[in-house]
Amino acid sequence: MSLGNILRTLALMALALAPCAGRATPAPAPAAATAAPAMAPVQSAPVLATKAGTNSTADHSKFEALKKSFASGPEVTKACLTCHTEAAKQVQKTKHWTWEFMNPDTKQRLGKKHVINNFCTAVPSNYEFCTACHVGYGWKDEKFDFAAQENVDCLVCHDTTGTYRKLPGLAGHPPYKDTEFPPHSGKIVKAPDLGEVARNIGKSSRATCGACHFFGGGGDAVKHGDIDSSLKNPGKYLDVHMAKEGLNFTCGTCHATSGHDVPGSRYAPTATDEKAGAHMRGKKDVNAATCQACHGTRPHPAAMTKLNDHTDKLACQTCHIPEFARGGIATKMSWDWSTAGKLGPDGKPIKIKDSAGRDAYDSKKGDFKYEANVIPEYIWFNGKVNYTLRETKLDPSKIIRINSFEGSANDGKSKVWPIKIFRGKQPFDKVSNTLLIPHTFGNDDSSYWSNFDWNKALEAGQKAAGGEFSGQYGFVSTEMSWPITHMVAPKGDALTCQQCHGVNGRLDKVPGLYMPGRDANPWLDKIGWGIALLTLLGVLGHGSVRILMARKRG
């Protein structure tokens, strides 16, 4: 038995014992400290832990092309391509590779390569750091060769060993030698055995997708709120679909790929699934990753007609994800870049922790706020999203919406959706009134994390992005919205009628809703009561006449 197999067997035993261990976990469960600036180590989901547990027709450890050691990621990819001849070409057409998306409705050029957010702000000038989550090798500047097939990283999505890890600062490469990370932390990240990883590849898993998506925005649970590492092996309470003791869905069960293209998009979300019903995998005209793709548009039992009547105006998520960040990990709710740069008495960067031990202040990044079990905000949403791009002129006296979700009660295309709104303050150019890109990461003199000089950092960031900087900067308040669609609770934990229909209900701030039980039309009320009163009088009158007549007859 190889060392790898022994380790996997031990991992399985640990997983088998996990439920017992879970019962004995400490009572207090404060939202844990979550700073994890690096892509997390990939760990295999239980179902994929051994070849015996898969339905694969190929045992990659028997492939001659993989029976050797590899010095780099691209070398592994070349070996993969000897059999999977079309794989890299397929990947290179996807957003995971291009980090580009042209929105057909708004005609805005989006994707990580182009947008600016209110977390780490933007990729240009920070490539080596950000591309730890690119599905490729070597994107360290704007000269990256997007056509080179060997630059595609197969292992990041297909590793099952849990040993493959990419670190920020290596331009998408894994460490090829044992590396101290974070720098000066004393923690050593082992270099993965690329040959061993390649010989044990399998389907993507919650762990492989989560290695990037759980850590979006610079740490665990930072960005989305409904996607964090608690979904790696979630309990039923957290997600009925992904529960390891239940349906045990992987991400790919819903986001079923076709030719490496993963359905589902934050840039052009499917707000209303008109073509709902049994979804034919592989068909490109519909999004396979909607609730309706499996559950249809009348998902409740026929006896619950009234609930089914709600589905034309409410997204499933509105009732069935009552709160997000429910897995015990608090999500970041705000990021204030304007306070960054305060140094300790020794002139070195400082960190201040909050009550739960999370970074509440970091000299490099500013102030943060976190929250667990967050009650979503609710909006009308029809699937159209407009972005404030680098070139968009803004009014700094107002709160700038990084992305605006369109929708209304009357357009016939919108549903009420739960969202997370991430609030922040970030740099803008006082002369051009546009958002600015800071150069944050790097050992050069212009990176903010090296010199804490906004002028140098903004000038370098703008230059790398092909923009201009007047030399005058300020900080503007921004909001960025994220649709909530994961962490689906058991049906017993869906919102109750009273939680919306009662006074101070969940949907109070959603305009254009007439909510029986909460709202009242005074005239309608008067007419109703009038009819009730007349009915009562009629009954009493009729009864009285009958009694009188009966007495008269003797």
Partner 1 sequence: MIKVLIGFVVGVAVIALSIWQMAPSLMFTERVSPFGMDETVARIQHNIQNTGNGWALSGLRNPAKAVQTDGGNVLPVMMIEACSTKYSKPILKDDTLRFLSILMPCKISIYKKNDGKVYIGTMNAGLIGKMFGPMVGETMGHVAEDQKKFLQFDPNTPAPKMILPAAPAAAGASGGSGGGC
Binding site for partner 1 (CB under 8 A): 22-31, 235-238, 322-323, 326, 330, 352-357, 360, 369-375, 489-490, 492-493, 499, 504, 506
Residue 72 or 373 with smaller CB distance to partner 1: 373
Please, which residue, 27 or 278, has the CB nearer to partner 1? 27
Instruction: Give the separation between CA 354 and CA 243, rounded to whole angstroms.
Output: 31
User: Shortest approach of partner 1 to residue 310 CB, angstroms?
Assistant: 18
| Cβ nearer to partner 1, comparing 372 with 460 | 372
Given a contact cutoff of 8 angstroms between Cβ atoms, the answer to whether 214 and 37 are in contact is no
Minimal distance, residue 74 CB to partner 1, in Å: 44
* Minimum CB distance to partner 1, residue 366 (Å): 16
Nearest-CA neighbor of 251 among 478, 96, 366, 134?
96
Contact 318, 345 (CB under 8 A): no
Q: How far is the CB of 238 from partner 1 (least distance, A)?
A: 8
Q: Closest separation between CB of residue 178 and partner 1, Å?
A: 33
Where in 325-461 does DSSP place strands (E)? 331-336, 351-353, 359-362, 366-371, 377-381, 385-387, 400-401, 403-405, 415-429, 434-435
User: What is the token pair recorded at 63?
Assistant: 């492939």
Per the listing, tokens 């040993």 go with 163
In the structure encoding, which two tokens stand for residue 214, read together?
């759980």
Give the Å distances, CA to CA, from 525 to 32, 504, 537: 51, 21, 18
Question: How many whole angstroms separate alpha carbon 361 and alpha carbon 342?
Answer: 9
Q: Half-sphere exposure of 60 toward its Cβ, with a 13 Å CA cutoff?
A: 25
H or E element that contains 189 = strand 188-189
Q: How far apart are CA 370 and CA 247, in angstroms?
A: 30
Provide, rounded to whole angstroms, the least separation between the CB of residue 370 and partner 1: 8
Q: What is the closest distance, in whole angstroms, from the C-beta atom of residue 492 to partner 1 in the complex? A: 7
Give the residue with the Cβ less far from partner 1, 77 or 317.
Answer: 317
Complex with partner 1: residue 153 or 239, whichever CB lies closer: 239
Shortest Å distance, C-beta 186 to partner 1: 22
What minimum distance in Å lies between the beta carbon of 433 and partner 1?
A: 33
C-alpha to C-alpha distance for 518 and 309, rounded to whole angstroms: 18
φ, ψ for residue 492, nearest 5 deg: -65, -15
Q: Give how far the C-alpha of residue 98 lies from the chain's centroid of Cα atoms, to the nearest Å.
A: 19
Please give the torsion angle defined by the CA atoms of residues 182, 185, 190 and 194, in that order, rounded to the nearest 10 degrees: 10
Taking the complex as a whole, how short is the minimal distance between the CB of residue 236 and partner 1, in angstroms?
4
Neighbours of 276 (CB within 10 A): 21
Shortest Å, Cβ 360 to partner 1: 7
Is the CB of 7 or the CB of 16 nearer to partner 1?
A: 16
The smaller minimum CB distance to partner 1, of residues 208 and 363, is found at 363
Residue closer to partner 1 by CB (options 302, 503) is: 503
- For residue 253, CA distances in Å to 240, 249, 288, 486 come to 13, 6, 9, 13
Which CB atom, from 127 or from 422, has the smaller least distance to partner 1? 422
Q: Which is nearer to partner 1, 167 or 314 (CB)?
A: 314
Instruction: Report the 10 Å Cβ neighbour count for 125.
Output: 28
Closest CA to 197 of 8, 52, 36: 8
- How distant, in Å, are the alpha carbons of 157, 365, 552 from that of 541? 79, 78, 16
CA atoms within 13 A on the CB side of 86: 5
Q: Which is nearer to partner 1, 227 or 372 (CB)?
A: 372
Tokens of 422: 């991430």
Q: How far is the C-alpha of 154 from the C-alpha of 66, rounded, in Å? A: 13
Q: What gap in Å lies between CA 162 and CA 42, rounded to an integer? A: 4
For 250, which DSSP code?
Answer: -
Residue found under tokens 């909460």: 518
What's the rounded Cα separation, in Å, for the pair 516 and 501? 6
Q: Is 226 exposed, middle or buried (0-12, 13-18, 19+ CB in 10 A)?
A: buried
Nearer to partner 1, 307 or 360 (CB): 360
**Strands 434-435 vs 101-102: parallel, antiparallel or unpaired:** unpaired
Residue 374 C-beta: closest distance to partner 1, Å: 8
Residue 28 or 554 having the CB closest to partner 1: 28
Nearest to partner 1 of 27, 302 (CB atom)? 27
Residue 27 C-beta: closest distance to partner 1, Å: 5
Q: How far is the CB of 376 from partner 1 (least distance, A)?
A: 9
Q: What are the tokens at 226?
A: 């409904």
